[in-house]
Amino acid sequence: MNDEEKRAWSAFTNVHALLYRRLEQRLKRDFGLSGLQYEILARLSEASNRELRMAELAGALVNSKSGLTYQIGQLEKSGLVRRRSCPSDERAVYAVLEDAGMALLERAAPGHVELVRELLFDALNPEQVRALADGLGEASRRMSGAAGDVDPVATDGGDCAGAAEDAAAGALA
């Protein structure tokens, strides 16, 4: 690496570590959530029917399936999410955001966004924000498209034919 690349790499790793630590501390203190658990709730809140296939969620979070399974288990114990299977595909398991999880996310999100803005974006001018988004976005696209990084089960786009029936059955239970 040349000097400018070393400087950029050092700044990136420091900002990432410091920002993540501060966000994690705030989420733990105020809401009993880890940063990854917050991201799980956020991703589920944005998904259709507030649910995602576990393999797809793990891929989106750049997390292992086993690590995600553990986190979902912790969130399940707290009543924030639940898992459901797919009657038409026995391999598919979905994580579903419960109303309690959505309510917690709605309470946590404003402070989370405020802290990200205070610690990161308030330190940058609009051109720097644009350059950061462009540069890191391109790096992310290149890494995400690397051979072997795509899980066909996670990205097959297939819907669970039994989703509506599961939802209806859950509402009746």
C-alpha dihedral (46, 124, 9, 13), degrees to nearest 10: -60
Which is higher by pLDDT, 112 or 167?
A: 112
Name the average pLDDT for the chain: 84
Q: Which residue has the tokens 């026995």?
A: 90
Q: Which residue has the tokens 């292992």?
A: 64
> What is residue 98's predicted lDDT score, i.e. its pLDDT?
96
Q: How does pLDDT run across 114-131, given as a tens digit for each residue?
A: 999 999 999 999 999 999
Element (H, E) at 15: helix 3-31
Looking at residue 56, the DSSP 8-state letter turns out to be H
Which is higher by pLDDT, 76 or 149?
A: 76
Which is higher by pLDDT, 117 or 62?
A: 117
Q: What is the pTM of this model?
A: 0.79
Mean per-residue pLDDT for 97-126? 96
At residue 168, does pLDDT exceed 90?
Answer: no
* Secondary structure of residue 84 in the 3-state scheme: strand
Percent of the chain whose pLDDT exceeds 70: 84
Q: Are 101 and 41 in contact (CB under 8 A)?
A: yes
Which is higher by pLDDT, 152 or 9?
A: 9
